[in-house]
Amino acid sequence: MTDNWTETDIPDQSGRVAVVTGANTGLGFETARMLAEHGATVVLAVRNVEKGRKAAAQMAGDVSVQALDLTSLDSIRSAAADLRDAHSRIDLLINNAGVMYTPRQTTADGFELQFGTNHLGHFALTGLLLDRLLPVPGSRVVTVSSAGHRIRAAIHFDDLQWERSYSRIGAYGQAKLANLMFTYELQRRLASHGSTIAVAAHPGVSNTELMRNVPAGLRLPVSWVAPLLTQQPEMGALPTLRAATDPDVVGGQYYGPGGRGEIRGYPKLVESSADSHDEAAQRRLWAVSEELTGVTFALDRRSDRATR
């Protein structure tokens, strides 16, 4: 694979349709911008449509805006219906949007906000759009995780919504771990359904609006250290873009910055935590996610049938 992979390595995306969640700012904006500049038809799937339109106006190419609030299953279903009506095919679904370190809040459906937005919202959206991806040769679902999937991270099946006690760092770790487990389980289920693949990426430490919810006690130290450690969103978006467009990518891979500690640098293939590869936990999370969202995927997993 190419070292020092950059925007110039993105292949021609003409004829491809890409849906990018959270694309009005930060990593999502840069991801969408670069895809559009390389010829893709890009949909900015965003909660604030006005901000989405302002973002689209800054991009060259075929860019449209779709209302999508990942904190509401009703909004997700409505957005998926709109996207299905507008597009007979989707080549790239990039599950980028997310919230980080928020005080305890719940979604419209009663889910803890970080788990509900980062994982359950994207799980539901993917399931509702999957039949637009499956017939498309080389289509991909790219889900953005985080190095935070290693920090105080576990899937708390006995308290997924953090109703007993709440840790904003622990809840973020759970959500980002769930992103990876979803990717790996989805890839196994896709394996016998053509060439659609599931891939994950993480941006390292990027200077984006996600940092606004850093706990108060950490804000001053973070403000001092951030300029030394973080990278700009256009660099932070490169692992996602590589996962989405590099022809050498295979399903189930994970991309992140290649520098020390995966904090910054050019994108490369990286490893996720041992917990993220727990297949029993992946299957359990999948089943719980289907139950909570009411969204089921039209995919059989042969190993599931074999173990029942």
Active site residues per annotation = 172
CA distance 59 to 2: 27
Pairing relationship of beta strands 92-95 and 63-67 according to DSSP bridges: unpaired
The full length of the chain comes to 308
CA distance 145 to 236: 12
CA distance 75 to 96: 17
The two three-digit tokens of residue 22, written as one number: 């959270």
Q: Which residues pair with 144 in a beta bridge?
A: 201
Residue 74 neighbours by CB under 8 Å, 6+ apart:
108
CA distance 16 to 19: 10
CA distance 36 to 129: 21
User: Minimal CA–CA distance to 242: which of 220, 218, 225, 258?
Assistant: 258
Tokens 């075929």 belong to 62
User: Minimal CA–CA distance to 43: which of 26, 20, 59?
Assistant: 20
Q: Would you tell me the crossing angle of helices 168-190 and 122-133 to the nearest 10 degrees?
A: 20
How much is the CA Rg of the chain, to the nearest whole Å?
18
CB atoms inside a 10 Å sphere around CB 233: 21
